[in-house]
Chain A
Amino acid sequence: MTLLQKYFSRKKAGKNRSPAPEHRPAVPEQPVFRGHGVRDQDVCDLALYAGHILLESGAELFRVEDTIHRILRAYGIHSENAFILSNGIFLTAGSDREGYYARVQHIPISSSHLDRVAAVNQLSREISEGKHTVYEARSILEQIRQMPEKSKWAKILCSAIGSGSFCVLFGGATRDALTAFIVGGLLYLLLLFPLNRPMSKIVLNILSGCFVAGCSVLLWKLGLGQNLDTIIGGSIIPLVPGLAFTIGIRDLGNGDYISGSVRMLDALLVIFSVALGVGVMISIIHALTGGMI
């Protein structure tokens, strides 16, 4: 074999990209035990379900791809082809020896649940080690899907703490931080109770921006904080799409351009709407008070 051939054969062998697998055992050569009477179709359904949970909980695209691949390989299916977008999975399988399977699933992005990502990751590792039959794995996935959310009051408190502490990072004084703490808490109260229903993301964020600006100006006028800019800057922090931005960069870095740009666009749009809301509200207050602030 010439050197060139060697080079190309090595390139081919490394084709299945799996960037930065976080300490996962190798996929076993022999397929692990599936359970009695489990068809190929059930295995594919299981893998698709795992991918579904990952994608809607805010995992990177390559992780979804990698997990589907691992689960299918572990149960002895080699003919699979998965095409994944930021809001959908297309999975087909089938060959002379394996049953045919094709399914497209639309997956709307919901709120981020990194605990579910961690749990599915753990499950996929255990499947590779042969610890679960397909039915067991399925019931574990159902449990993961129903993992309890944090209580609403804990979220409100965290939003308040986040706003207050980030206000300090933007150079706010203690009084500003206190104001941002209150506004951040009120903001999540608004998001979780009156505005907690399906509506356009853009409208929702414009409304939130208006609300933050209104509350901040009110508290500032009452003499609670000093610097209005840092108060508003801290208070909108719970709206900042940090997760979408970071995951978007990772997707772009892995070459998943469609998903990466969709996420970045989503992040930018959210921030734009919030800024628009704040700007509109401040302008209205300006007009009403005749430029007092």
Chain B
Amino acid sequence: MVLLKECTMAFAGTIAFALLFSVPKRYYPWCGAIGAAGWLVYRLALQTGNRMLAAFLATVLVIILSRLCAVRERCPVTIFMVSGLFPLVPGVGIYWTIYELVMENMEGAISRGTAALQDAIAIVIGIIVVFELPQKLFSVARRK
């Protein structure tokens, strides 16, 4: 139930940011769905207790879906990737780290900072790995 609520929110939030990035209107549903799917996988995988694994799996799913959508809609993959990854990007994690530093709460800064760094590394590896897959694999999504 909580998961459903969060996924709806990830869907809405991703579409809101798709609009702020001026994504063409007809791609909104795709962007939202990719964002929600990424968040769902992230939350489910987080239950294994391995933060990096969760972020990695979610990123891999988001990028695979983005590449499929890009082939299907014949448009740059950037559109789907940027919006779909938005819920996972550790921007707020880094913000919390710096905030704790400014407030001189070193323990908080270290734990927040480690988490943000883990997320960032997992996302970097996820993006790079999936973009190394050959384009042929994604041509199944091509519309005739």
Q: Which of A22, A113, A275 contacts B102 (CB 8 A)?
A: A275
The reply to whether A118 and B16 form a contact with Cβ atoms under 8 Å apart is no
Interface size class of A (residues with CB under 8 A): 35 or more
Indicate whether A250 reaches chain B with its CB closer than 8 angstroms: yes
Interface size class of B (residues with CB under 8 A): 35 or more
The reply to whether B81 and A246 form a contact with Cβ atoms under 8 Å apart is yes
Indicate whether A100 reaches chain B with its CB closer than 8 angstroms: no
The reply to whether A162 and B13 form a contact with Cβ atoms under 8 Å apart is yes
With contacts A59-B76, A112-B21, A268-B94 known, is A169 near B9, CB below 8 A? yes
Q: Which of A112, A249, A283 contacts B103 (CB 8 A)?
A: A283
Give the docked Cα–Cα distance between A275 and B85 (Å): 22
The reply to whether B20 and A162 form a contact with Cβ atoms under 8 Å apart is yes
The reply to whether A121 and B81 form a contact with Cβ atoms under 8 Å apart is no
With contacts A168-B6, A242-B86, A242-B91 known, is A19 near B102, CB below 8 A? no
Chain B nearest CB: distance from A91 CB in Å? 21
Interface of A is mostly: helix
With contacts A242-B17, A283-B103 known, is A166 near B98, CB below 8 A? no
Q: Which of B95, B98, B127 contacts A249 (CB 8 A)?
A: B127
With contacts A242-B89, A275-B99 known, is A20 near B67, CB below 8 A? yes
The reply to whether B127 and A276 form a contact with Cβ atoms under 8 Å apart is no
Indicate whether A116 reaches chain B with its CB closer than 8 angstroms: yes
Chain B nearest CB: distance from A36 CB in Å? 31
Chain A residue numbers with a CB within 8 Å of B13 are 161-162, 165-166, 169, 237
With contacts A117-B76, A121-B75, A169-B87 known, is A246 near B98, CB below 8 A? no
Give the docked Cα–Cα distance between A121 and B22 (Å): 15
Q: Which of B74, B91, B101, B135 contacts A241 (CB 8 A)?
A: B91
Which residues does B use to contact A, with CB under 8 Å?
5-6, 9-10, 12-13, 16-17, 19-24, 39, 67, 70-71, 74-79, 81-82, 85-87, 89, 91-92, 94-99, 101-103, 123-124, 127-128, 131, 135, 139, 142
